[in-house]
Amino acid sequence: MSTFNVKIKWNKETYDLELDTNESPSVFKAQIFALTGVSTDRQKVMFKGSVIKEDEWNSTMLKSIKNGATFLMMGSAGELPTEPQEKAVFVEDMTEKELADAFDQPSGLINLGNTCYLNATIQSLSTVPELRESLKKYKGSLTLNESFDGAHDIVVSLRDVYNKMDTSSTVMPVLLLEMLHMMGTTNSKNFITQYFGGTLQSTMKCIEDESEEPAISNENFLQLSCFISQDVKYLQTGLRLRLEEEINKFSTKLNRDAHYMKTSKISRLPAYLSINLIRFFYKEKNSVNAKILKDVKFSLTLDLYELCTPELQKRLVPMRQKFKDYEDQQLEKIQQQKLTKNVDDKLNVEKKKEYYNYSFEDDPGSNNTGLYQLYAVLTHKGRSSSSGHYVGWIKHKDKWFKCDDEQVYQVSEEEILKLSGGGDWHCAYVLLYGPQLVEKCENLPSTIGQ
């Protein structure tokens, strides 16, 4: 017989326990722990004056064990764990706001029926903090029972969507969609022009008559276009080619249509630059809007200095120099750490970062460096503009997220760069770049312009 009903006596308490001598004494002690709360390393278990071992039973002791035998245990239980001051909160019990905060991710937008492009656009624009702050300050309500006011009601609806995105993990932008359906044309000025609008200085030169004076004009834009041809492999190339184009127009001097070369340079850079990759074209043979799937590489940063007028380039130099000085200082710190092989604790202290204003003082909403960083990518998946699916990929608190309607996932920078095209996967259609912030650093040369 190897199984016995025994008793464990501890202090003033007695416990009944089933002992199987085929198991090691450590199993027996674990059973005692379950009854008394005394951990096995604190137990001293004795039977008839002998202390039981940890790994095996004493043969003499085994002969004496019978049903009803009493074991004596000495030892004290450890302190019971204290109840946590904050109760555990389970995912199932969290509100939508608590879920969004816990996972530190942007809100999703519910698809209301072919509204993926709208959702992706809302997500992309959400990366512009100045826009969201400006909308929060906008007072007013929808004119639902009055005459429709397009500009006002669109702004109010978008403001309300972003306010809900601050408090919910998923949002249904139904009122904004309704206002867009009702809207005809809107004169979008002020904030949009100030922060998203740039200016091109164009020179029109007649190729067929060198004596004709070139015509210089200015035109405003809310986005730059990147035309995709067989030779275009990089975004910068597509932008540059778009700013140089040959056109036919009537020449008053020649009294006929003639070839002209139109060359454009950027004379005003907006803080937030939208770039449209022209991927759709009409294919007459099949009477469909086909899609160019070609891979066009873009980067997480963008420098438009070379595409600017000489006058603007001159104005960009001071702040570009500050940015270079900051990068040089950071590189010098890293080199010093490598030489000393010790990381100075002072360098590891997280300090509140301070940045220079990214706009010229006399032109709020402009870009004073020509340097940008990628804020959002709007992609299209499919073969035609009349079908497929749009998704927004946005940078939120230094992390990238894929916002596929109400589904939001964190992704890597490598996954963002793979959106350049080349197949049936998501292709970048609109890129939104924001200002490259220039961090202030110490000991900058005093000769640098302010």
Comparing 85-94, 279-288, 343-352, the range with the smallest average pLDDT is 343-352
Comparing 10-19, 137-146, 213-222, 352-361, the range with the smallest average pLDDT is 137-146
Mark whether 116 is an active-site residue: yes
Q: What is the mean pLDDT of residues 231-246?
A: 91
Label residue 436 by pLDDT band (50, 70, 90): very high
Q: How many CA atoms lie within 13 A of 287 on its CB side?
A: 0
Residue 86 lies in a domain: no
Q: Residue 445: what pLDDT?
A: 46
Q: Residue 83: what pLDDT?
A: 58
Q: What is the mean pLDDT of residues 203-211?
A: 90
Label residue 76 by pLDDT band (50, 70, 90): confident
Label residue 62 by pLDDT band (50, 70, 90): confident
Q: Is 317 exposed, middle or buried (0-12, 13-18, 19+ CB in 10 A)?
A: middle
Query: Which of the residues 152, 259, 389, 441 is marked catalytic?
Result: 389
Determine the number of helices (DSSP H) and then strands (DSSP E) in the chain. 12, 21
Query: Which of the residues 116, 206, 226, 403 is marked catalytic?
Result: 116
Tell whether the model's pLDDT for residue 432 goes beyond 70: yes
Mean pLDDT for all residues in the chain? 83
Structure tokens belonging to residue 218: 């200015």
Range 239-251 burial, b when 16+ CB lie within 10 A, else e: beebbeeeeeeeb
Of the chain, the percentage scoring pLDDT greater than 90 comes to 37
Comparing 83-87, 190-194, 300-304, the range with the smallest average pLDDT is 83-87
Of the chain, the percentage scoring pLDDT greater than 70 comes to 83
Residue 55 lies in a domain: yes
- Quick one: 393 and 425 in the same domain? yes
Tell whether the model's pLDDT for residue 444 goes beyond 50: no
Give the span between the Cα atoms of 356 and 321, in whole angstroms: 12
Q: What residues make up the domain containing 304? A: 192-343+352-435
* CATH code: domain of residue 275: 3.90.70.10
Q: Residue 289: what pLDDT?
A: 73
| End residue of a domain, out of 20, 42, 74 | 74
Give the span between the Cα atoms of 39 and 177, in whole angstroms: 64
pLDDT: is 267 or 118 the higher one?
A: 267
* CATH code: domain of residue 16: 3.10.20.90
Q: What is the mean pLDDT of residues 195-213?
A: 91
Question: Which residue, among 375, 413, 407, has the nearest Cα to 394 in the 3D structure?
Answer: 375
Mark whether 389 is an active-site residue: yes
Label residue 400 by pLDDT band (50, 70, 90): very high
Beta-carbon contacts of residue 228 (< 8 Å; ≥ 6 apart): 238, 277, 278, 279, 292, 294, 296
Residue type, 350: E
Q: How many structural domains does the chain have?
A: 3
Residue 267 lies in a domain: yes
Q: Residue 102: what pLDDT?
A: 58
Tell whether the model's pLDDT for residue 190 goes beyond 90: no
pLDDT: is 173 or 189 the higher one?
A: 173
- Quick one: 226 and 292 in the same domain? yes
Q: Residue 288: what pLDDT?
A: 66
